[in-house]
Amino acid sequence: MDDYRRIADVVAAQIATGRLRPGDRLPPQRQFARRHGIAASTAARVYSELIRRGLAIGEVGRGTFVRASAPASEPALAEPARARVDLELNFSVPPEQSAILAAGLSGMLRADVLASALNPVGVAGTSALREAAAALLSRAGWTPDPSHLLLSGNGRQAIAAAIAALVPAGERLGVEELTYPVVKGIATRLGVTLVPLAMDDSGVIPDAVRSARPLRAVYLQPTLHNPLGTTMPEQRRADIAAVLHELGIYAIEDGIYAFLRDDVPPLAALAPDRVVAVDSLSKRVAPGLTVGFAVAPEAIGNRVASAMRSGGWTAPRFAIEAATRWLADGAVTRLQEIKRHDAAERQRIARERLADFGVQADPSAYHCWWRLPEPWRADTFVAAAARRGIAVTPGAAFTIVPSRAPNAVRLALAAPPTDVLAAALDTLAALARHMPEDTEVE
């Protein structure tokens, strides 16, 4: 057995027997190396192995710590949290939503209409939905060409199809250094290597894209970035568009939250021949009956369509017909407006309850990014919040390199009733004001 694995087994046994307790800081790697009579490079491999096994977590500038809780058996954000208050999944269900949607579905219960809605359909869907969706996705002077629209089962499937079409197995996809966790799972299944791209307050840094070459494509969230909640300014979008043309690569633009803030043009408006714009009805309407959209440049439209078909990611006809009716009767427009006001109110609550802390958020977003106060660490805070019945997402869920996990958590504000949300945020604020060791005994 390799020396580093044998030593990792020793540390793992110390954790299992309680000699090393959850939250304990492991010694600096050079000190660990001297203590065990090994090279510093071997100590680094030991620590990487402990992180890989889920026994430790590394935090930039702070060191390596024994995990406060076992890693989740499911990917982050994959299923509803089991905690009483879910601040992980970010789906809004306003009280009036079902009534608004029911009217459009009632006509589908006629036998002749239902028979048509249960027939198969291709990736192009129907012309009626393409026309309506093009109008829905329009913002800041940009309107997609309906003939370039492809329809998937949801936004995740549209992202998967775009990645599969643009990045062959074994090749490299650039992503923001904090990114949507589901993309990590998609890349793993497709055999694609993710390359983290450095960011600043305006989003991805153009020179980071240049220096990461070779890349086949990049995946970006320019509007209401998840988890940071930031929106890329127009000049940075123009700079990124120029880099795409300079390097001859494509971008996959995830606009899933853009309906909450439609005052800036998408990246697709600045580089229409270099951007696959992805969106869906999941956030606007509901995840249980949705349709995903991919607006692909004409030159690669067939590639994206082929990937969508071969992946089994096409939208069912029933969802297409339901979406068409909701768009025609104004249901989607009404829900968008309700959710914009709802998101703004929830951000107001978060600003009030967490005013004393380093919380970053756009006033239009349904989530916020909380850089935790010392001496709290993200995994310890997540575990302490869970003991109080509140599920939050650690910053590590959004990182590409586990050893560079930020000391932060994302709070999804959309799901709980507003009074429950306010009480949960009060609980988290009180928790953060105490020392971690003061919270271990309930």
Least confident of 73-82, 325-334, 365-374, 419-428: 73-82
Name the more confident of 115 and 184. Answer: 184
pTM equals 0.83
Please give the backbone phi and psi of residue 440, each rounded to the nearest 5 degrees, phi first. -70, -35
Secondary structure class of 262 (helix, strand, coil): coil
Q: Each residue of 16-55: pLDDT tens digit?
A: 878 888 878 899 999 999 998 898 889 888 998 888 888 8
Q: Across residues 231-252, what is the average pLDDT?
A: 97
Of the candidates 243, 234, 166, which has an alpha carbon nearest to the alpha carbon of residue 205? 243
Q: Across residues 360-375, what is the average pLDDT?
A: 95
Contacts 24+ apart (CB under 8 A), 270-275: 270/237, 270/238, 270/241, 271/241, 271/244, 271/245, 272/297, 273/297, 273/298, 273/299, 274/241, 274/244, 274/245, 274/249, 274/250, 275/241, 275/244, 275/250, 275/251
- Round to whole Å and give the CA distance between 273 and 143: 14
Q: Each residue of 95-144: pLDDT tens digit?
A: 899 889 988 888 887 888 788 878 888 899 999 999 999 999 999 999 99
Per-residue pLDDT at 79: 53
Secondary structure class of 273 (helix, strand, coil): coil
Tokens of 156: 């995740």
